Amino acid sequence: MTRQPRLAWLLAPATLFLVLVYVWPTLGLFRIAFNEVGPTGAMIEAWSLATWRHVFADSFTFELTLNSIWLSLTSTFLALLLSYPVSLFLFRTESRFRSLLAVIAIMPMLVSSVVRVFGWLAILGDRGLINSLLQSLGVISAPVRMVYNWTGVTIGLAESIMPYMILALLAGFGRLDRTLEEAARSLGAPPWRTFLRVTLPLSLPAIALAFGLGFILSMSAYITPKLLGGGRVFVLATEIFEQATTNTNWPVAAVLAVYTLALLLGLLALSNLFSRRLQT
């Protein structure tokens, strides 16, 4: 079709929508971060850093940050360990069910996160699958606590970010030339040496990108820490929600949100830098 600049006005409704329902509220969020909270708890219009000082003077903020980063690191690392073989398998397999297998791998994306959390409660709970199994085998006598604590949240979070990481890794593998592996094999490298000397180094940029993606998704995840943590796991995401809804302390929620966003941007830049380094 010949180019039709006149079509540009078709962008108007979508642009208007996003300006009103996305850009404006986001700017509003930044604005409210500079408001103050009065002694009665009511919000006072201002341009001050009082709320920032209040939030960062509180050692709990520091603890939340560490919790969030630690949780994200562990669950992303776990998810990476599990996602890598699946992605490599999907990349290499010549099964005629390849596309079906790929869809199954990312199926959790299509299932509500609440449903999956509920599934983990049934697997990891005190009377869940694993405890029942271990008890009937006589390995343990009392149930091991695996939900409503860090273990459960880490496992649940890892599972929830895996589909995204598998996709990211697969996209990265797509650029991996299979003849390179064949060349290594023809030069006498056994499969595991081929993997270590060719496949793994070449997939490092994909790993860096997938890790960055998983980390960012974990940092901002709310449902899994909330439900599998059972109120005992405190991270930035749960605190933002608490402050915004239960406490209706909007300035604090906004400050924490802007702070989290800044952390994420920093990490994103870092992950991009790594990925680019590895590619050259």
For the segment 19-38, give every residue that binds another protein (CB under 8 A): 21-22, 24-26, 28-29, 32
Give CA angle at 147 (145, 152), nearest 5°. Answer: 115
When the beta carbons of 110 and 280 are compared against another protein, the nearer one is 110
Residue from 141, 154, 119, 126 nearest 229 by CA:
154
In angstroms, give the least distance from the CB of 166 to another protein: 9
Considering the complex, state which of residue 70 and residue 118 has its C-beta at the smaller distance from another protein: 118
| Closer residue to another protein in complex, CB, 136/280 | 136
Residues 124-153 that bind another protein (CB under 8 A): 125, 127-129, 132
> 242-261: which residues touch another protein (CB under 8 A)?
244-245, 250, 253-254, 257, 260-261
Count of residues of this chain found to bind another protein when the rule CB under 8 A is applied? 85
In the bound state with another protein, the residue whose beta carbon lies nearer, of 28 and 38, is: 28
Task: List binders of another protein among 67-126 (CB under 8 A).
Answer: 82-83, 85-86, 88-90, 92-95, 101, 104-105, 107-108, 110-123, 125
CA–centroid distance for 96 within its chain = 31
Sign of the C-alpha dihedral computed for residues 183, 189, 194 and 196 taken in this order: negative
Distance CA 99, CA 78 (A): 25
Question: With respect to another protein, which residue has the nearer C-beta, 2 or 280?
Answer: 2
Signed CA dihedral, 85, 81, 142, 130: sign only: negative
- The reply on whether position 206 binds another protein by CB under 8 A is no
- Residue 19 and residue 6 in contact, taking contact as beta carbons nearer than 8 Å: no
- Beta carbon nearer to another protein, 61 or 260: 260
Nearest-CA neighbor of 249 among 88, 41, 75, 103? Answer: 41
Whole-number Å distance between alpha carbons of 27 and 188: 60
Residue 187 CB-density burial (10 A; 0-12 exposed, 13-18 middle, 19+ buried): exposed
- Min dist CB 255 to another protein, Å, is 11
DSSP secondary structure letters along 89-146: HHHH---TTHHHHHHHHTGGGGS-HHHHHHHHHHHHSTTSHHHHHHHHHTS-SSPPP-
Per-residue binding string, another protein, 156-185, x by CB under 8 A, is ---x--x---------------x--xx--x
C-beta of 163 vs 205, nearer to another protein: 163
Q: How far is the CB of 192 from another protein (least distance, A)?
A: 9
User: Nearest distance from residue 66's CB to another protein, in Å?
Assistant: 19
State both tokens at 69.
């980063």
